[in-house]
Amino acid sequence: MGAGCFFHCENTSDCVYFKGMADKDFTVLDLLDMDLKEHNSLNLKCAYGRRGLVRTITIPDLNRPGLALSGFFESFAYQRVQVFGRGEVAYLNKLIDEGNLDNIRKLFTYEIPCCVFTHALPVPQVVADIAEEAGCVILCTDLESTEFSTRLLRVFTNIFAPKRTIHGVLVEVFGVGIILIGDSGVGKSETALELIERGHRLVADDIVELRCVNGNTVLGRGANKIISHHMEIRGLGIINVEQLYGVGAIREQKEVQLVVKLEEWDTNKIYDRLGTDQKTMEMLGVNIPLLEIPVKPGRNVPIIIETAAMNERLKSMGYHSARDFNLNVLKWIESSEAQSAYYGGDDSY
Active site residues: 167, 188, 206, 273
User: Is residue 30 classed exposed, middle or buried when 0-12, 13-18 and 19+ CB atoms within 10 A define those classes?
Assistant: middle
* Nearest alpha-carbon partner for 305 in 320, 324, 292: 292
Supply the DSSP symbol for 257: -
CA distance 187 to 232: 11
Please check whether residue 119 is in contact with residue 85, taking contact to mean a CB–CB distance below 8 angstroms.
yes
Between helix 125-134 and helix 86-98 the angle, nearest 10°, is 90
Termini Cα distance of the chain: 80
Q: How far is 183 from 14, CA to CA, in rounded Å?
A: 11
Backbone angles phi, psi at 218, to 5 degrees: -105, 120
Find residue 115's DSSP bridge partners: 82, 138
Long-range contacts from 322-328, C-beta under 8 angstroms, 24+ separation? 322/274, 322/275, 322/276, 323/276, 325/274, 326/274, 326/276
H or E segment and range at residue 183: none
Identify residue 123 by its one-letter amino acid code: V
Distance CA 58, CA 77 (A): 12
Which residue type is seen at 166? I
Cross-strand bridge partners of residue 207: 167
Candidates 218, 199, 202, 194; CA nearest to 169 is: 202
For residue 52, the 8-state DSSP code is G
Q: What whole-number distance in Å separates Cα of residue 261 and Cα of residue 14?
A: 9
Amino acid at site 12:
T
**Cα separations (Å) of 161 from 6, 39, 215?**
16, 20, 9
